[in-house]
Structure formats: C-alpha cells, structure tokens
Amino acid sequence: MNICGENEYLRRAMAAGAREYLVKPFSSNELADTIRRVNESTKRRLSLMGLQSLASPRIKIQKGKIITLFCSKGGVGKTTMACNLAIGLAQSTKKKVALVDLDLQGGDISVMLNINAKGTIADLAQESDAMDMGLIDSYLVPHLSGAKILPAPLSPEQAELINLERVEELLHILQENFDYIVIDTSPFNLAALDAANQILILVTQDLPCVKHVKTNLDILATLGHSDKVKLIVNCAGIESGIKITDLEKSFNTAAFAVIPWDDKVVRSAINKGLPAVMNQANSKVGQSLLDLTAKLAGSPPKSDGKNTEEIPRRSIIGRLFSF
C-alpha cells in the first residue's frame, strides 16, 4: 500500500469538504452511522453560523419544492427520469423549474438534453462574489421547454471544488426563486437529501438493485427522511424481472409509480437529446412519466392509468427476499 498516496488522497478529500472516511470493507451499519454523524455535525455547525434554516428541511420557509432522485446503484435510469420530470413539470405547469445535476463526478444531464454548457456548478462554486440569484442565473442554461439547467462539472476531479456549504446555499436560493427544483444526485449527497421535499428512490426488477435500495431505505430512515421517500419502479416489464408485488412486499411500501421499459423509445430520446415527454409523449413510457409528473405537481393524471397495469410481470423464487 502506498501510504503517502493514501495520506495525500485523504488530505485532498478533507480540503474539498469531506467530513469523515471509511476503510473498506465496511458494513451498511457503519455507513449509516457515519452518514448520521456527519449530518448531525453539519447541522450543529450551521446552527452556530446562524444558518439553521439551511440545515433543517423541516423549517419550510422557502417557496420551491425540491424533488431529489436517488439510488446508490447505477444504471437504474435516474438521470433519464430527472430530465423527463423537470421538462414535464416545466411544460405542464408553466411554472419556474430548475434541473440541477449534483452527480458531481459523472453527471450526464448536459448530454441527455443536448446542451452546451459554458459554465458548470464547479465554476459557480468557485466564484468569489457572494452567491445570489443573479450570479446563479448566469450559469443556468435555458432549455426550450422553459426549464433551466445547472450542469455537473466537466471532469470528475472538479467535484473537489464543491463543498457542502456551497451546495446548501445554492439550493436555498433556488428554492426562493423557483417553483420546482429537480435534483439528480450521486449517492448520499447530504445537501440534496436534507433539502428535499420528496426523495424518489428508483428500483429496477433485479436482485442487486433490490439489495442497494434496501440499504438506501435503512440509511434514509436513520437520517430521518423516511416520510419523504417515494418508491419508483423503473424499466418495468422485463420478463425475467422480479414481480412488482414482491418488490412492494420486500420494501413494505407501495410503488408511487411504475414506469415501463421500452428500449426503442428511451434510446431514441437519449440520442436525440429530447426527453420522451417531449418527443414521444404518446408512448407508454411518455404517458407514464407525464402521469408521474402530474402526481408530483398535485394534478390529475393525463392518461387512464392502464399502461402500467398491462405490463407483464413474472416472479422469481421468493427466498430472494429473505435477506
């Protein structure tokens, strides 16, 4: 082991705003305890600084509604859904919507929406001027739907330039100036989870994802966020997948929404840089996403709700849910 290299890595992480570290291998309980300690420490520090309103999501003095999409497993369609929800909200509600890419080491929202970003959240975080809406707006990229986009850093190492306090300040200002803020976040971004009014956890019909989501739910419960969580079954209908009713039993909660799988529609939307809610709104995927958007906005669904009921579902051995 290169001790000098390890020490330099830890030094750089702490300089970037890291508050704790874990040594592999570690258990889910150790991870949950560490996140809870960091969360409580941050709230105490902000309270002493006179910023308790930023640290506590239960003091709801801001205007906007923050919707954070979250799952510690990659490949579940989180970024695709974040883009569709933000664009869908902007189109259907005609209200002010911001889409923030807080997947700081590998965010793809710019690619998904085919936008060229002159500046990113990393550049914004390094501004010496006090953060206000005028400064933030200079970094927001307008989308033809009416939504505004704040892209992720262009390279992974730039994530080190963004600390927790800067993100909390950003979200606080956005809440005062937008009706909806949709966040695509990397695993356990405390600022995005604390500030959220709703946390959408995505799950797919495969066992590795189920395992991740179980751990995610336990950690969110430890952080006191269980009341915010909504379970979204994404890419549903794959024949070999776990039965949706079994997923709901495993998590002891009903799915808030079920989004069907349609590889042709999804890939076409990604490659064209136009979300399904814009480009293929009449497809089953597009209708399901619009229905989810309507639920989040508190409006009646656009479709008759039959699409998700017609998705084929097949079960696997029940013992897979015994962990």
pLDDT in tens, 157-184: 998 889 888 999 999 999 999 999 999 9
| 0.85 surpassed by pTM | no
Of the two residues 34 and 112, the one the predictor is more confident about is 112
Burial 260-274 (b: 16+ CB within 10 A, else e): bbbeebbeebbeeeb
Across 51-55, 68-72, 136-140, 177-181, least confident range = 51-55
Within a domain: residue 33? no
- Closest by alpha carbon to 212, among 24, 23, 31, 18? 31
The predicted pLDDT at position 25 comes to: 75
Within a domain: residue 294? yes
Give CA–CA dist 317/319, Å, rounded.
Answer: 6
Of the two residues 293 and 22, the one the predictor is more confident about is 293
Within a domain: residue 101? yes
Within a domain: residue 201? yes
Confidence of residue 66 (pLDDT cuts 50, 70, 90): very high
Reported as a single tens digit per residue, the pLDDT across 74-83 is 899 999 999 9
- The residue segments making up the domain with residue 179 are 62-321
309, two tokens: 């009921």
Give CA–CA dist 218/29, Å, rounded.
Answer: 9
Within a domain: residue 155? yes
Based on the structure, what is the number of domains in the chain?
Answer: 1
Mean pLDDT, residues 264-277 taken together: 92
Mean pLDDT, residues 287-291 taken together: 96
- Closest by alpha carbon to 98, among 166, 179, 164? 179
Confidence of residue 52 (pLDDT cuts 50, 70, 90): very low
Query: If you average pLDDT over every residue of the chain, what do you get?
Result: 83
Strand pairing partners for 236? 260
Burial of 116 (0-12, 13-18, 19+ CB in 10 A): exposed
- Closest by alpha carbon to 187, among 53, 84, 109, 78? 78
Residue 121 sits in a domain whose CATH number is 3.40.50.300
Of the two residues 191 and 23, the one the predictor is more confident about is 191
Across 3-7, 126-130, 137-141, 272-276, least confident range = 3-7
Instruction: Please check the confidence at residue 302 and state whether its pLDDT lies above 80.
Output: no
Residue 305 neighbours by CB under 8 Å, 6+ apart: 291
DSSP state of 152: P
The predicted pLDDT at position 9 comes to: 61
235, two tokens: 């890419």
Instruction: Please check the confidence at residue 134 and state whether its pLDDT lies above 90.
Output: yes
User: Residue for token digits 């936008």?
Assistant: 115
φ/ψ (deg, to 5) at 164: -60, -45
Within a domain: residue 185? yes
Within a domain: residue 151? yes
φ/ψ (deg, to 5) at 131: -75, 125
Confidence of residue 12 (pLDDT cuts 50, 70, 90): low
Within a domain: residue 16? no
